[in-house]
Structure 1
Amino acid sequence: MPVNEHVMVFAPTPRLTVTVDQPSEAPELHLHPGGQGVWQARMIISLGVDVVLCTALGGEVGQVLEPLLVSEGVDLKTVVRDSGGNGGYVHDRREGARREVVDVPGEALGRHELDELYNLALGEGLRAPVSVLSGPHQPHLVPAELYRRFTADLRANGGKVVVDLAGEHLAAVLDSGVFFLKVSHEELIADGRAAGDDEDQLARAMYDLHAGGAENVVVSRAAEPALALVDGEVFEVEMPRLQAADPRGAGDSMTAGVAAVVARGGDIRTAVRTGAAAGALNVTRHGLGTGRLDSIRGLVERVRLVPAGSRQQERTTPDELADRAAER
């Protein structure tokens, strides 16, 4: 594996996903590894970049997950759990929309398991130009302090850290500083970092995140164009509208696209455009973190970074501009 072209993905709490589907007369059962880090790793591989996936597996679910993870094409590095097992969910998609049947969060990692996983992932992260630190399914499963130390150690040794986190885990990595942060506008509001969802308020929150330790920031906004803070300027990420087959997973694919491009030495603007294309393509498919490389490349050419506020200015009529000038 080329030293300068792979990504370390830290996925402490992978999950088993079971989906019941019925695309024809007979129902189908699909078993896959899941969780934020797994979905990110899957998209990075789709973009042609190798992945070292560092994780902890335990219990019956962990035994099922291990061969499934290997089949994803990652270089799997594992810590065997003694204190508990991994979680997962069962979804019924036979009527089109997903209906949750059961969701098992799994058990928190013990102190010994955390130490072993930290050492394992740190060693692999020091060999990679880019490390993606994925969050746990639920905050209590992995302490935020581990993310703070991990980020600090990677950055101190020249690594670029990419994250999609919220809450106390986001606060922890900001203390150490990250190269790239992706966060949703709902998460910013829930964390008290933004007062509302209008562009000005979100832009202020992005500048605060930048001042707090995030070098580059992308804020996803559901159906609205994402906002990107790059090189000290806020942009709208403008791209073609695509019909969604499954709206989940766009944010993880966006984060993965950024990590893949940066690992290959690409610039941050190209990385954000690639991430946006990967996220948009992912929602046209039923598999999370999936997408064809040629299709993503085709979409990248259609993604633009437009200075924030310019679209509103373009929508202003000449009469309105004349009225504003007269008022001045």
Structure 2
Amino acid sequence: MEQQAAVHRPKLCVLTPTPLLMVEIEPGDDDEYPQGADLHLHPGGQGLWIARMAISLGAEVTVCGPFGGEVGAVLAQMLAEENLTVRAVPYNAGNGAYVHDRRGGDRETLAHMVPPQLTRHELDDLYGTVLVEALESDVLVLAGAEPERVLPPTFFSRLVRDVRSVDKPIVADLSGEAAKRAASEGPTVLKMSHEELRAAGLTTGESVGELQAAGRRLVEQGVEAMLISRAGEPTLLVTAESSRLLVGPVVTPLDHRGAGDSMTAGVAVALGRGAGLAEAARLGAAAGALNVTRRGLGTGRREQIERFAGRIGIEDVVDVEDDDDGEAAADTDAGPGTEG
């Protein structure tokens, strides 16, 4: 009984503004039909990839998003079969979809049905749905929209403000104006890539020092922790107290897509379990690293990810200094630091 009581299954609410249907064309394996192909259907979009990884890590996950049209009906059924709870808001225009051809080895987009902007009433319904669900969850996860015009940036800032008013943890994985608006209201964790920071005009460089400086500016605005992914380089964790790099074993990727979403899921699940920021970042880094070794986005095995997290070291970053050219520079210590 004591062991069962110690294990907490966190409940996550994931805002999924643009659930998508992914149609994947893979090479066929019938020699009699050289032009044949295998077709696979998957639910996709940032929010759903985050949700799938969170399920793999043992969380109870509710996704809140707009579902409508033929594609929306298919998506809702597929998600129900993946043990996700769906809080669907009617979407008169219908969901978007991709058709990808992978017979040549790479992923080639053959068609993209773009979801339109939500109407005023659909936005109101979605906001109320997410807010009520978030207040009954351990962690709220905010995923961005594709394209961004589906949701106005103020939608995210309002949600962060209202949910943080009752001290609920919020993990936001956003870019562009949505990230800026959310940052101003103080989410627990804001995850952005170094490319997203540059595209948003929050930094002009990609060095550790320049990214550290950008992260600190956002922390000064109210973000509790900035998690800055750097493609194949160690992720940077910036808080008011410290800046640290998450350093782990090098892995050979099969598909680099989905690493950031898996990282977000790992962080959210760990926070929902009651972990500190450093421990949460470690689990996120492990989930992201192992996901790129697989062909399925937002997939992984909990036991492997949690063991791999033990291989993630944390290195302290020395305070930002200006070099002779006036650019930000930073150094790291010689070895892994300790979790704080």
Same structural fold, with TM-score higher than 0.5 when normalized by the shorter chain: yes
Rounded Cα–Cα distance in structure 1 between residues aligned with 2:183 and 2:264: 17
Please name the residue that 1:43 is paired with. Answer: 53
1:19 paired residue among 24, 29, 33: 24
Q: Does structure 1 conserve the Cα–Cα contact (< 8 Å) formed by 2:191 and 2:226?
A: yes
The equivalent residue for 2:110 is: 101
Aligned to 2:184, what secondary structure does the other structure show? Answer: helix
* Cα displacement string for residues 154-173 of structure 1 (whole angstroms, at most 9, x for unaligned residues): 00022111111111101111
Residue matched to 2:139: 130
Is the CA contact (8 Å cut-off) linking 1:203 and 1:234 kept in structure 2? yes
- Is 1:119 the counterpart of 2:124? The answer is no
Q: How far does residue 24 in structure 1 lie from its aligned partner after superposition?
A: 3.7
* CA offsets 1:121-173 (integer angstroms, 9 cap, x no match): 11000011210011111111111111111111100022111111111101111
Determine if contact 1:235/1:306 at 8 Å carries over to the other structure: yes
Aligned match of 1:149 = 158
Residues 122 and 154, structure 1, Cα contact 8 Å, conserved in 2: yes
Moved more, 249-258 or 94-103: 94-103
Q: Give the drift of 1:314.
A: 4.2
1:274 counterpart = 2:274:
no
**More off after superposition, 25-34 vs 97-106:** 25-34
| Counterpart Cα distance in 2 of 1:209 and 1:231 | 10
Q: Which amino acid aligns with 2:231?
A: A
1:27 deviates by 2.3
Moved over 6 A (4+): none
Tell me the secondary structure at the aligned position of residue 140 of structure 2. strand
Aligned-pair CA distance for 1:264: 1.1
Partner of 1:170: 179
Q: CA deviation at 1:311?
A: 6.9
Match of 1:34 in 2: 44
CA distance in 1, matches of 2:206, 2:242: 19
Kindly provide the amino acid, as one letter, of the partner of residue 272 in structure 2. Answer: A
CA distance in 2, matches of 1:194, 1:231: 18
Which residue in the other structure is 1:186 paired with? 195
Paired residue for 2:119?
A: 110
- Contact conserved, 2:228 with 2:236, CA < 8 A, in 1? yes
Question: Which blocks of at least 5 consecutive residues in structure 2 are unaligned?
Answer: 1-6, 31-35, 319-329, 336-340
Identity among equivalent pairs (%): 41
Structure 1 residue 200, shift from structure 2 partner: 0.8
Q: Of 27, 33, 55, which aligns to 2:65?
A: 55
2:82 match: 72
The verdict on how the C-alpha distance between 1:311 and 1:285 changes in structure 2, with shifts beyond 3 A counting, is farther
Superposed CA RMSD: 1.8
- What is the deviation of 1:312? 5.6
Q: In the alignment, residue 141 of structure 1 is paired with which amino acid?
A: V
Q: Which has the higher helix share?
A: 1
More deviation, 132-141/3-12: 3-12
Residue pair 2:139, 2:272 contacting (<8 A) in 1 also: yes
Give the superposition deviation at 1:308. Answer: 2.1
Distance 2:178 2:8 in 1: 28
- Compare 103-112 and 253-262 and name the one that shifted more: 103-112
* Cα distance, 1:176–1:4 mapped onto 2, change above 3 Å: farther
Contact 1:230/1:268, CA 8 A, preserved across alignment? no
Question: Which position in structure 1 is the counterpart of 2:326?
Answer: none
> What does 1:290-301 align with in structure 2 at a 5 Å threshold?
290-301=299-310
Which of 9, 13, 18 is 1:8 aligned to? 13
Whether 1:232 aligns to 2:237 is no
Aligned to 1:201: 210
How far apart are the structure 2 equivalents of 1:226 and 1:197?
Answer: 12
